[in-house]
């Protein structure tokens, strides 16, 4: 796979004399390469549409361009079917431990708020929505048809979706990133960058906040600080809706992994990732059920 990917990257028309083409670690959806040429570095992302995950590359391209214009993400250098070439940012990829750092979390919160505030007005074409409850219903329908080995768990998840959706109440729509893993955050020493927009689209801002918390195992105190800092949210007023979105985020990550077990060709232990996220989902659903204001 790496040899074929390297050959394809080397042949791209945006390069004349590419050198030192090497795989970039961390990706569990696409094949990512670093290419050096004339003293500059680029990221080549190789990946076609992924219907089972709702990934459409035209949508990723539109949001990548908008995020670059807003100064949130690296510039788009080239694109063609199955290929996206971006500037390489000399930066450190964050870890969950970094995200939980008391000095880092407020910076990330500001970055998320800026993305939500600026990306919608900066778009020049329609983009997808990412309503997590419908996303999860779609995953369950596909996994049922695929005869997943996890089929016994699906009816219980299906029953929870309506309750969680009702608990969110009315929402304000923003352009969300919708995949706030630590690996999608970079720190160049001066500013933070937000990368990988393949799941981006209109959503409630609470989903990104909840996704950041669930993917990086924030404490409840950190979650409440997150809601207190983000403009327009209140940790007391919005806790039930936020908790519902946290469950939806963890359910999505679990169903995503179950689906990837069947369909992905990436070399990654998706079975272990399913187990990890299923445990987090179970804990979050149990905590949600104990909330006095939960439906």
DSSP states of 39-66: TEEEEEEE---BGGGTB-HHHHHHHHHH
Instruction: State the first-to-last Cα distance of the chain, in angstroms, to the nearest integer.
Output: 48
pLDDT at 267: 84
How far apart, in whole angstroms, are the C-alpha atoms of residue 218 and residue 230?
15
Query: Do 2-90 and 93-289 show the same overall fold?
Result: no
Divide the 295 residues of the chain into consecutive groups of 10 and give the mean pLDDT of each group.
86 92 80 93 95 96 97 98 97 97 97 97 94 98 96 97 96 97 97 97 98 96 98 97 98 97 91 96 95 79
How far apart, in whole angstroms, are the C-alpha atoms of residue 82 and residue 86?
14
pLDDT at 2: 77
Q: Which CATH class is domain 93-289?
A: alpha beta
Helices and strands per DSSP (H, E), number in the chain: 10, 10
Angle of helix 239-263 relative to helix 205-216, nearest 10 degrees, comes to 70
Of 197, 55, 264, 54, give the one whose Cα is nearest residue 138: 54
What values do phi and psi take at 37, rounded to 5? Answer: -155, 125
Domain ranges of the chain: 2-90, 93-289
pLDDT at 10: 93
CB 281, CB 164: distance < 8 Å: no
pLDDT at 266: 85
Q: 3-class DSSP state for residue 72?
A: coil
CA 78, distance to chain mean position in Å, is 22
Tokens of 42: 């680029």
pLDDT at 99: 98
Residue 121: how many CA atoms within 13 Å on its side-chain side? Answer: 6
Q: CATH number of the domain at 2-90, please?
A: 3.30.200.20
Query: Would you state the torsion angle of the CA atoms of residues 58, 64, 67, 73, taken in this order, to the nearest 10 degrees?
Result: 170
How far apart, in whole angstroms, are the C-alpha atoms of residue 285 and residue 287?
5
């Amino acid at each position: 796979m790496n040899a074929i990917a390297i050959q394809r990257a080397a042949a791209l028309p945006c390069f004349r004399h590419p050198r030192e083409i090497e795989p970039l670690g961390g990706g569990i959806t696409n094949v990512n390469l670093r290419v050096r040429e004339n003293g500059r570095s680029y990221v080549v992302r190789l990946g076609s549409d992924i219907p089972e995950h709702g990934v459409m590359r035209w949508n990723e391209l539109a949001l990548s361009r908008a995020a670059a214009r807003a100064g949130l993400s690296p510039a788009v250098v080239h694109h063609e079917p199955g290929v996206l070439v971006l500037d390489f940012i000399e930066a450190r990829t964050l870890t969950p431990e970094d995200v939980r750092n008391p000095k880092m979390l407020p910076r990330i919160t500001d970055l998320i708020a800026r993305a939500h505030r600026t990306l919608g007005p900066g778009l020049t074409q329609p983009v997808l929505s990412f309503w997590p409850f419908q996303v999860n219903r779609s995953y369950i329908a596909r996994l049922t048809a695929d005869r997943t080995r996890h089929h016994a768990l699906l009816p219980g998840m299906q029953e929870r979706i309506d309750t969680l959706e009702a608990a969110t109440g009315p929402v304000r729509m923003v352009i969300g990133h919708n995949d706030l893993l630590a690996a999608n955050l970079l720190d160049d020493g001066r500013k933070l960058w937000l990368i990988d927009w393949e799941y981006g689209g209109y959503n409630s801002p609470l989903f990104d906040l909840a996704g950041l918390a669930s993917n990086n195992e924030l404490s409840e105190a950190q979650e409440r600080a997150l809601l207190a800092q983000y403009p327009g949210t209140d940790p007391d007023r919005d806790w039930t809706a936020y908790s519902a979105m946290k469950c939806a985020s963890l359910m999505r990550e679990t169903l995503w992994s179950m689906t990837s077990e069947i369909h992905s060709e990436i070399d990654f232990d998706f079975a272990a990732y399913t187990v990890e996220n299923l445990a987090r989902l179970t804990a979050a659903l149990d905590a949600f059920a104990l909330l006095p204001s939960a439906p």
